[in-house]
Amino acid sequence: MKHYIKKISTYAMAGSMGALAMVAMSGCERKPAGESDAFTRASQKQGAFVVIDEVAPGRYRIAEEYPADTTRVILRKLDGTEKILSKEELDALVKEEAAKIDAGESPLTNPQLSGGGLSLGEAILASAAGAIIGSWIGSKLFNNPNYQRTRQRSYKSPSAYRRSVDSFSKAKRSPTSSTRRSTRSGFFGGGSRSGSRSTFGGFGG
């Protein structure tokens, strides 16, 4: 029998909206001027929202990842607590990781060092957030085949990786027809509806 409670990661329950709710709830966001809500920002997807799980003490996996207006990383620790990493923390972790890459000591680029899971800095760099925050070290990473392999392995489940790839690589677009055509528009343009609540579709009696 199918069961109603899906044991899925809690953010997946409400997807990128859940992630956004979490950030709004934490109260630690700065509201950029001129923006009003989740949907006005949705069009500017230059960042990533990443949820990283601690899977063993000091070992991490990427649980969820969504395009977002700005880059934010939530860490879910083994004891169940959650923490939003600040920009300073992220920068420090990425910088530390960059030094390891330069010294050839990072499992992200050095296959001999792989195994035993990722540190927090490595998990961040393996995520979409890492690609954005660490863009200045991008060239060292993105052409490295071991980094690409590690990136795949860093996700909590193959489906988390699949999801991530799906949301970030909408590169394929269907060809747009630009032939001459006669179209009609302006339906429901009367503007007779007003008010904030729905004019239909609500709970019926």
Partner 1 sequence: MVRLEKVAPLTPEFLERLGFHWHTDSDGTSYVADEIVVVSEAEAEAYYEAANTLYDMYVEAGEYVVEKNLFHDIGIPFNLVDAVKKSWENDVHWHIYGRFDLAGGIGGAPIKLLEFNADTPTALFETAIVQWALLKANGMDEAAQFNHVYEAIRDNFRRLIVLDGNPEDFGRYYEGWKILFSAIRGSIEDENTTRLLQKIADDAGFHTDFAFADEVEFSDEEGIFFNGERFEYWFKLIPWETIAIEESDLARILTNIMENRKAIILNPAYTLMFQSKGMMKILWDLFPNHPLLLETSFEPLERKQVQKPFFGREGGGVRILDARGRELVRGEEAYGEQPSIYQAYEPLPADEEGRRYQAGLFFAYEGCGLGYRRGGEILGNMSKFVGHRID
- Contacts with partner 1 by CB under 8 A lie at 2-8, 10, 12-18, 20-22, 24-25, 31, 36-39, 42, 66-67, 159, 162-163, 165-167, 170, 172-174, 176-179, 181-189, 191-205
Residue 157 Cβ, how far from partner 1 at the closest point, in Å? 10
Of 135 and 157, nearer to partner 1 (C-beta) is: 157
Shortest distance in whole angstroms from residue 25 CB to partner 1: 6
| Contact call for residues 138 and 155 (beta carbons, < 8 A) | no
Minimum CB–partner distance for residue 3 and partner 1 (Å)? 8
Q: What would the two tokens of residue 128 be?
A: 């979409």
| Of residues 148 and 159, the one with the C-beta less far from partner 1 | 159
Residue placing its CB nearer to partner 1 in the complex, 66 or 155: 66
61: closest CA among 146, 157, 149?
A: 157
Question: From the CB of 63, what's the least distance to partner 1, in Å?
Answer: 14
Say which residues have a Cβ less than 8 Å from residue 60's Cβ, sequence separation at least 6: 52, 53, 54, 75, 117, 118, 119, 120, 122, 123
Q: Give, for 167, the enclosing helix (H) or strand (E).
A: helix 158-168
| Distance of closest approach, residue 123 Cβ to partner 1, in angstroms | 21
| Cβ-based nearer residue to partner 1, 19 or 94 | 19
Of 33 and 193, nearer to partner 1 (C-beta) is 193
Report the alpha-carbon distance of residue 86 to residue 88 in Å, rounded: 5
Q: How far apart (Å, rounded) are the C-alpha atoms in residues 42 and 172?
A: 20
Q: How far is CA 119 from the centre of its chain?
A: 19
Q: Is 174 helix (H, G, I), strand (E, B) or coil?
A: coil
Classify each residue of 148-161 as buried b or exposed e, where b means 16 or more C-beta atoms within 10 Å of its C-beta.
eebbeebbbeeebb
Nearer to partner 1, 71 or 119 (CB): 71
